[in-house]
Amino acid sequence: MLDLTWLLIAVPLASSFVLLLLGKRANPWGHWLGVAASGTAFVIGLLALIQMLGLDAHDRSHAVHLFSWIPGGELNLDAGLLVDPLSMTFVMLVTFVGTLIHIYSVAYMEHDPNRRIFFAYLNLFVAAMLLLVLADSYLLLFVGWEGVGLASYLLIGFWNQKPEYATAANKAFVVNRIGDIGLILAMGLMFTYLGGVDFATVFAAAPEASTAQLTAIGLTLLLAATGKSAQFPLQSWLGDAMAGPTPVSALIHAATMVTAGVYLIVRSAPIYEGAPAAQTVVAAIGAFTLILGALIGMAKDDIKKALAASTMSQIGYMMLAAGLGPIGYAFAIFHLVTHGFFKAGMFLGAGSVMHGMHDQVDMRRYGALRTAMVTTWVTFGLGWLAILGVPPFSGFWSKDKIIEAAFVGEGAQPWILGGAALIGAGLTAFYMSRLFFMTFHGKARWTDDQHPHESPALMTVPMIILAVGSAFLGLFLAMGDRFTDWLEPVTGHAEHHEPVLPVPVIMVATLLLVALGAWVAWRKYGAADVPETAPAASLATIAARNDMFQDSVNRGVFERPGTHLTRTLVYADAALVDGAVDKTAHSFARTGESVRKTQNGQVRSYALTMLVGLVIVIIVVVQGGL
């Protein structure tokens, strides 16, 4: 079965092409083909997982050779798959959550005339994401990396008849290109310093390379990761990406694609082993983004944008853990998996709310929905408890471990990183509770044309399954260190380090901050009346509502100087290069103009000219004695 893992990629890809090429003929059954393709991939993945679980831990890494891809002198690259516990984890997450979201989309997109194309793109995304995580070289990973970028672009702009949605898609595409340059540079550096771009060669050569070389590769890889995972400074596209249909936000912009950056960092562990400086930068960016995302999430009134900010913040946690080295890798992936469940579940819940509320996204017009949509309320509630990190729900097992690991180290670093992670937990509790209470509790603030109702079973069943995962998956995987042991062949054995604070103190502090955050949110948004329009607020709130002015910063720091630079270059080109050519041409033209006057068409003047010329020639000949 492990040798057949290429089918994981081939089946959704084939389905995607069938749906796109058959055109309208496939409309009646196209969405079910999409669901079937994703489901088939899940079954294949599950069989492979069962087979892998039967093997010894050190035999679980399995290389599948597909074909010789680039046989060219120095660069001899084969296309192949690497099936190991890490890629298998992603395969299960992507296919399982992906299939649920496919099923959900059947109902959610029911009235959309382009539902078949939507499923084609979703299948394309699943295929590309699986290629990304299964690739055995950075170059093949890059193919999947671009594939998910393309699918993300197509799906954000799925309703591109609205110009601002099309702009959001373009924004995501452009910002991601900046990150992609990082990955291309990293591959170039690897080829120069480490002699190849496939994982085996790179990781074998990494221990011998110098720290400076590895740091350069690590930082360029981090640039790639920040682009794909919406981390500072390339975070600005994620909020706007919520223009896409909600199932897309759940699958691509919460559960799977945006975590590809974390995968890239964890997969490149041998490179970061030799580059502690790059590792620190990864952790610092993670810590910074987790606070940034949390602050933005606190002020957003658009339910999807608040969830997007939360995604950014949670991926910040994963990045922070990935930047801690071997003690963090497994927890980064653990949090990634639990986050995939509870965040996808909450996005589907948000989609269900929008479905029942006439596509309203402003939380200030929600309120008291718990009576109208009981299933959505309960499933969302489980996701809410999970992201808060309330024991024994999923998030507690993964996030608490990350906070603990962040406190390990020497000097000021553990206090800064751990403090950020700890404060982040409190902020998370506040903004998620605010979102939850504003939506489901308090007084109803609906507009007159809204008649909230529960969504159909095709939508609620995936939400229920994801909610069960949000509740129990963490406990199941954390029991007896199941998940860490499972990943150990890839992430390496982590020595146990004691945090600078005792573990119980950290745990109690976290829970106290979470309780405080939730209590403040309840006082302000649960028990008290919420105004229907956003009230005037302090400068900090305004900044958070505007995503910390990220667009203005980008515009001021990059766009304007860039525009000026290009304008200067265009001007220089026109004035200097074109100018020199034009002046030369004009001078010839002017010479021609003046000489032209002698051609007056008068035969007798021509005769005179000839005579004068002849006389001059004769004088010269006679005088010169020639």
| Rounded Cα gap, residues 142 and 176, in angstroms | 12
Angle between helices 138-156 and 211-228 (to 10 degrees): 20
Q: Buried (b) or exposed (e) across 295-327, using 16+ Cβ within 10 A?
A: bbbbbbbbbbbbbbbbbbbbbbbbbbbbbbbeb
Closest separation between CB of residue 562 and other proteins, Å? 51
Structure tokens at 352: 């269900």
User: For other proteins, which is the closer residue by CB, 496 or 604?
Assistant: 604
Closest separation between CB of residue 577 and other proteins, Å? 32
Close Cβ partners of 448 (under 8 Å, ≥ 6 residues apart) = none
Q: Which helix (H) or strand (E) holds 65?
A: strand 62-72
Closest separation between CB of residue 590 and other proteins, Å? 15
How many CA atoms are closer than 13 Å to the CA of 549, on its beta-carbon side?
10
Distance between start and end Cα atoms, the chain: 101
Closest separation between CB of residue 599 and other proteins, Å? 3
Q: Interface residues for other proteins in 18-77 (CB under 8 A)? A: none
- Total of residues contacting other proteins (CB under 8 A): 12
Distances (CA, A) of 395 to 295, 371, 409, 490: 20, 26, 24, 23
Closest separation between CB of residue 163 and other proteins, Å? 57
User: For other proteins, which is the closer residue by CB, 533 or 600?
Assistant: 600
Close Cβ partners of 310 (under 8 Å, ≥ 6 residues apart) = 293, 294, 297, 343, 387, 428, 431, 432
- Best CA proximity match to 304, nearest among 363, 357, 230, 388: 363
User: For other proteins, which is the closer residue by CB, 111 or 604?
Assistant: 604
SS3 287: helix
- Best CA proximity match to 38, nearest among 345, 256, 266: 256
User: For other proteins, which is the closer residue by CB, 600 or 623?
Assistant: 600
User: For other proteins, which is the closer residue by CB, 181 or 617?
Assistant: 617
User: For other proteins, which is the closer residue by CB, 539 or 589?
Assistant: 589
User: For other proteins, which is the closer residue by CB, 539 or 626?
Assistant: 626
Q: How many CB atoms within 10 Å of residue 55?
A: 12
User: For other proteins, which is the closer residue by CB, 50 or 618?
Assistant: 618
Closest separation between CB of residue 563 and other proteins, Å? 48
Q: Which residue's structure tokens are 């229907």? A: 532
User: For other proteins, which is the closer residue by CB, 576 or 607?
Assistant: 607
| Rounded Cα gap, residues 343 and 299, in angstroms | 19
Closest separation between CB of residue 595 and other proteins, Å? 8
Closest separation between CB of residue 621 and other proteins, Å? 16
Q: Give strand pairing partners of 135.
A: 81
| Rounded Cα gap, residues 448 and 438, in angstroms | 18
Closest separation between CB of residue 612 and other proteins, Å? 10
User: For other proteins, which is the closer residue by CB, 374 or 608?
Assistant: 608
Closest separation between CB of residue 589 and other proteins, Å? 14
CA 250 centroid distance within chain: 12
Interface with other proteins, residue 447, by CB under 8 A: no
Q: Interface residues for other proteins in 554-613 (CB under 8 A)? A: 596-604, 607-608, 611
Closest separation between CB of residue 620 and other proteins, Å? 19
User: For other proteins, which is the closer residue by CB, 161 or 598?
Assistant: 598
Q: Interface residues for other proteins in 122-141 (CB under 8 A)? A: none
Q: State the virtual CA torsion across 513, 518, 523, 526 in degrees, nearest 10.
A: 180
Which residue ranges make up the site for other proteins (CB under 8 A)? Answer: 596-604, 607-608, 611
